[in-house]
Amino acid sequence: MSNTSENPKPSSSSAKMTLKTSDNELFEVEEAVAMKFCTVKQYFEDEKDSDVAARGSTTVIPLPNVHSAVLATLISYGKKLPQSNAVADNHEEEETKKKERKKYEQGLLKNLMPGELLDLISAANYLDFKEGLEFFNQALADHIQNKSVEYVRKFFGIKNDYEPHEEEKYREEYAWAFEGVDED
Amino acid sequence: MQHQNQPHFSADAPTTPCAGPTVTFSSAAADHKRGKKRGSYNCGRCGLPKKGHNCHTSITTTTTTDTTTATTTSSPIINTPTSRADSSASLSSTRPPPPRQPYTHFRRALSFDDDVRAGFPEPEPEVEEEEQEEEDFGYPSMDPEPGALPASCLWEILRRLPPVGLLSAARVSKSWRETSKRLWKAAEELRLRVPARAQVGFVGSVLQKCPGLVRLSLRMESDLDATMLACIAFSCPNLEFMEILKSDTAINRINGDELGRFVADKRCLKSLKMEGCSNLGGFVLCSSSLSTLWLSDLYSLSKMVFNCPNLKEISLEFYRQENDSTDLTTMVDGLGRNCLRLQNIHIASVRLSHSVVLALTAANLRGLRMLSLVLGSEITDASVAAIASSYPNLELLDLSGSSISDSGIGMICNVFPETLSRLLLALCPNVTSSGIQFATAQLPLLELMDCGMTICDPNSQNGIPDESSDWELRNTANHLIYQKLIIKHGRLKKLSLWGCSGLDALYLNCPELNDLNLNSCKNLHPERLLLQCSKLESVHASGCQELLIGAVESQVSNDFPAVENVLPCKRLADGSKRVRVPHFLSAQSCDDDKKRRRVERRHCNVLVS
């Protein structure tokens, strides 16, 4: 929680902030994007409350729970979202941006390793990045929704704490609803 | 084959039209038999052919036998959970009441959907959860295993799973079961597909997990009987909205007594929609809470009594058989006496007649705003006169399949110009293009106009039943063949001219027009088409000539400045204006284009099947 500078800077919409990850990497991020991480925003606002004006690229916000690779993905996702301080687009531009975003999202998911998804969600949760959480949670739900129970356990690293007879009971109870499960 | 007719109702403001009807006629010439040969109509929501299609904007059709939950949910369909999570216990407008019903046969590609609904696709099996109070809600507190997700994340993930996925998740571990149990308890809405081999007990066990259920939608692929109904009644004490959809192979065995008992017992039931009601036989429905009732595939009902004083919307679709012995007049009479709060009425039956209309107009339904009486070829201009005199404030009038003529339209335009925003006159063989033009000229609030199959070439097989190949008749009927339509309207948003094979020329100057349906306008001449509709988003043109499709495409891709066209026009004796369409009908590029404000054009899709 250290402020390295006490110079008040005039507010500007292209102000940048620096985020430091658990592996000591520094990321310079535009304020508009960084504000989507509510944890960062909260940190920022707390700083503003105090007398020290901590604006500008000289402040470094530590994120000890987030690894650089994960933060990189979250930042690039955040950039694609509609910016709250952007000039209101007219309808056409909005449409094109939406399409771009969809393409980006699909590309992102395709290249993602399933394990990385968990990390992304944890990080997004820590950062309180609502849109990211929404997106990645949905992606994860889509991914597991037709997988076998074993797969899900392995994926999340969960131990099966059922007795065999309990498990069998549950399996039979709803067998009627299942009509085919993805290959693991 | 059962055909589905979809009422027009929207719970929202009447200016937002909703699900379009499907109209099939056993009496109309060969149309419905050839339905499959026509261009398949596209669902307005997802753009896919409507045949055998379940509009959930997911890709599968329920008519295929190997529908698995895998395929239906493979396309990630998000039901904007954020908005739902933020709203309070009551479901927000993300769930507007009229759902899409499966279409199975010949149908019109008219969609009257709100934009709202289009933005909230309804995937097949999905549990939607509502958290009662977002802030106070405590996620199940349990120590997460090291490295596992925090409880709140698990909740968020599980809640996005379809019902089947959630059932499966319970088997992963005990803590997951805990979370999923809580999710079920919090569930207020459930849409479940019941596969063919499922038994009542199984569905019951699912329903018992969610006692807080307010909205239930079941897609039955197995038969529906009273046991299931009783199971629902027992498991869902707070049920307010119930919908039962039916696949083609499933049978709905519920009889009138059982239905009556269900409705009477469920004191909070507000909305009931059921398909496949051919075994009802007759019923007495008593409910003070019921405000919406949709029953389809009704057949030969001995009596229908509606003791529902708060009923606002009713849709009754009768099975298309000539020997249906239901006494519609008595039924409507009863409706008029008991359900004085009715606002929206939709009745589809080939037995509709003038006496039924008279029974309706004799009632004092002060709130009536939407009236749809379709398939009744015995409805005539006299019926229109009666309707117009008793209910002058209609916002939607649908007399598709009736025998009304241009003078009936004249009456409509006399009485309803200040309120009517939707007029549907599909398959009305006695209406001509002049009538349609008159309507569009005289009804300033019109937003939706459906003239499907109305301007037909009587000599082609797609025409009116009277298929005389008499030479003289063909000559005198020439005026029916080469009809032209000139429509200039400031508010019209949707226009359907599907199947208007008698249409030869079309000129549209409608700056608000979003959707134009020209499916099967076989004789529309590519050089006699002028579209000046800057907001046009989709044009349906399946079954049209290649050249026409090309003409449409070139017209919609040009930038049309808002042109105030000064066309030569001529006043006729009856006071109407005849506007002469200019000879060259091509995109007009004005020199002072640059001076005009650049009209923003959305990309317009030309949909060919």
Confidence at residue A178, expressed as pLDDT on a 0 to 100 scale: 64
State the average pLDDT over residues B477-500.
83
State the average pLDDT over residues B37-50.
46
Q: In degrees rounded to 5, what are phi and psi of residue B295? A: -130, 135
Q: What is the pLDDT of residues A150-168, one digit of tens each?
A: 888 888 888 888 888 888 8
pLDDT surpassing 50 at residue B40: no
Check A138 against B148: CB less than 8 A apart. Answer: no
Question: In angstroms, what separates the C-alpha of B204 from chain A's closest C-alpha?
Answer: 11
Counts for chain A of helices (H) and strands (E), in that order: 8, 3
State the average pLDDT over residues B445-456.
90
pLDDT surpassing 70 at residue B256: yes
Query: For chain B, what is the mean pLDDT?
Result: 73
| For B170, nearest residue in chain A (alpha carbons) | A170
In this structure, are residues B147 and A154 in contact, taking their beta carbons and an 8 Å threshold? no
C-alpha–C-alpha distance, residues B232 and B234, integer Å: 5
In this structure, are residues B158 and B169 in contact, taking their beta carbons and an 8 Å threshold? yes
Confidence at residue A101, expressed as pLDDT on a 0 to 100 scale: 82
State the average pLDDT over residues B233-247.
93
Higher pLDDT, B322 or B238: B238
Confidence at residue B150, expressed as pLDDT on a 0 to 100 scale: 76
pLDDT surpassing 50 at residue A125: yes
Confidence at residue B568, expressed as pLDDT on a 0 to 100 scale: 54
Query: Would you place residue B601 in the very low, low, confident or very high pLDDT band (cuts 50, 70, 90)?
Result: low
| For B199, nearest residue in chain A (alpha carbons) | A176
Confidence at residue B139, expressed as pLDDT on a 0 to 100 scale: 54
Query: Would you place residue B81 in the very low, low, confident or very high pLDDT band (cuts 50, 70, 90)?
Result: very low
Confidence at residue B9, expressed as pLDDT on a 0 to 100 scale: 65
pLDDT surpassing 60 at residue B448: yes
In this structure, are residues B399 and B424 in contact, taking their beta carbons and an 8 Å threshold? yes
C-alpha–C-alpha distance, residues A104 and A109, integer Å: 9
Which residues are B373's β-sheet partners?
Answer: B347
Edge-to-edge order in the sheet of strand A16-20: A26-30, A16-20, A60-62
Query: For chain A, what is the mean pLDDT?
Result: 76
State the average pLDDT over residues B583-590.
42
Q: In degrees rounded to 5, what are phi and psi of residue A177? A: -85, -15
Cα–Cα distance list, B325 to B300, B329, B383 (Å): 5, 11, 22
Q: Measuring CA to CA, which residue among B40, B69, B68, B44 is closest to residue B55?
A: B44
Give the distance from CA B4 to its chain's centroid: 10
Query: Would you place residue B453 in the very low, low, confident or very high pLDDT band (cuts 50, 70, 90)?
Result: confident
Structure ipTM = 0.78
DSSP structure string for B321-385: -TT----HHHHHHHHHHH-TT--EEEEE-TT-BHHHHHHHHHS--TT--EEEEES-TB--HHHHH
In this structure, are residues B445 and B418 in contact, taking their beta carbons and an 8 Å threshold? yes
C-alpha–C-alpha distance, residues B357 and B353, integer Å: 7
C-alpha–C-alpha distance, residues B274 and B295, integer Å: 5
State the average pLDDT over residues B432-450.
93
| Amino acid making up residue B44 | G
Least confident of B142-146, B184-188, B436-440: B142-146
In this structure, are residues B541 and B606 in contact, taking their beta carbons and an 8 Å threshold? yes
State the average pLDDT over residues A76-98.
72
Check B148 against A156: CB less than 8 A apart. Answer: yes
Q: What is the pLDDT of residues A24-60, one digit of tens each?
A: 888 888 888 888 888 888 877 777 665 444 454 456 8
- Percent of chain B past pLDDT 90, that is, above it, reads 39
C-alpha–C-alpha distance, residues B251 and B519, integer Å: 33
C-alpha–C-alpha distance, residues B322 and B492, integer Å: 36
Q: Measuring CA to CA, which residue among B219, B208, B278 is closest to residue B243?
A: B219
| Amino acid making up residue B95 | R
Q: Measuring CA to CA, which residue among B495, B497, B553, B491 is closest to residue B520?
A: B497
Confidence at residue B318, expressed as pLDDT on a 0 to 100 scale: 92
C-alpha–C-alpha distance, residues B9 and B337, integer Å: 22
Q: What is the pLDDT of residues B507-545, one digit of tens each?
A: 999 999 999 999 988 888 888 999 998 888 899 988 888
State the average pLDDT over residues B105-128.
33
Least confident of A25-39, A72-86, B161-175: A72-86
Which residue, among B145, B157, B179, B203, would best test binding to A if mutated, counting the most A CBs under 10 Å from its CB?
A: B157
Question: In angstroms, what separates the C-alpha of B197 from chain A's closest C-alpha?
Answer: 7
Q: What is the pLDDT of residues B207-232, one digit of tens each?
A: 988 899 999 999 999 899 899 999 99
| Contacts (Cβ under 8 Å, ≥6 apart) of B105 | B1, B2, B3, B22, B24, B32, B35, B36, B51
C-alpha–C-alpha distance, residues B129 and B188, integer Å: 6
Least confident of B189-198, B248-257, B477-486: B477-486
Q: Measuring CA to CA, which residue among B151, B141, B172, B143 is closest to residue A155?
A: B172
C-alpha–C-alpha distance, residues B493 and B113, integer Å: 12
Identity of the residue in B73, B149, B602 whose CB atom sits nearest the CB atom of A156: B149
Query: Would you place residue B284 in the very low, low, confident or very high pLDDT band (cuts 50, 70, 90)?
Result: very high
Question: In angstroms, what separates the C-alpha of B605 from chain A's closest C-alpha?
Answer: 14
| A130 lies within 8 A of chain B by CB | yes
Confidence at residue A14, expressed as pLDDT on a 0 to 100 scale: 65
Which residues are B298's β-sheet partners?
Answer: B318
State the average pLDDT over residues B390-416.
94
Check A149 against B171: CB less than 8 A apart. Answer: yes
pLDDT surpassing 50 at residue B557: yes
In this structure, are residues B488 and B530 in contact, taking their beta carbons and an 8 Å threshold? no
| Contacts (Cβ under 8 Å, ≥6 apart) of A58 | A4, A5, A7
pLDDT surpassing 80 at residue B559: no
State the average pLDDT over residues B554-572.
57
pLDDT surpassing 90 at residue B357: yes
